[in-house]
Amino acid sequence: MKKSLIALLVITVLAVSLGGCSEEEALELPIGTYEMKDTSQIFPPYINLKDGNEFIFVFSALSSQLPIGTYRIVKDELLLTIDDEEKITYVFKIDNGDLVFQADKSASIPKFEKEDSIVDGDIFVYKQNN
């Protein structure tokens, strides 16, 4: 009887502890705008995270593209996915609330003449809305 109770207790503890180990961790980011840091662009690239896990990603004021879609957080990464047939994804590592672009895991970013492009390691910081 005592062994059965101990076994049941061990199984319960394991089930509870493993239940918290999902692919999507509970990391959260505030809704709002994350602007690219250290850029020479007059209008810096930015990501706007919205309610309902929707986003807008502005590469450049010169771009005619306006990537919109849904986002999710997996472990310590923010994944922005454009909801079309190609499922284009951009990946950012979450580092103390900042977003660090991961070029090797992302779709390519358009480049514009006379303007710096977003490159691997570029940091986007949360901008407090006034």
pLDDT digits (tens, 9 = 90+) for 72-129: 999 999 999 997 767 899 999 999 999 999 999 999 888 877 677 899 999 999 997 6
Going by pLDDT thresholds of 50, 70 and 90, the confidence category of residue 41 is confident
Domains belonging to the chain, first-starting first, are 24-127 (2.40.128)
Going from the C-alpha of 37 to that of each of 5, 34, 51, 125, the distances in angstroms are: 57, 9, 24, 7
Query: What 8-state DSSP symbol labels residue 105?
Result: G
> For residue 23, is pLDDT > 90?
no
- Cβ distance 80 to 55 under 8 Å? yes
> For residue 20, is pLDDT > 90?
no
Going from the C-alpha of 58 to that of each of 16, 62, 128, the distances in angstroms are: 42, 10, 18
Whether the model clears a pTM of 0.95, i.e. scores above it, the answer is no
- Residue 62 has a pLDDT of 80
| Residue 31 to residue 73: CA distance in whole angstroms | 13
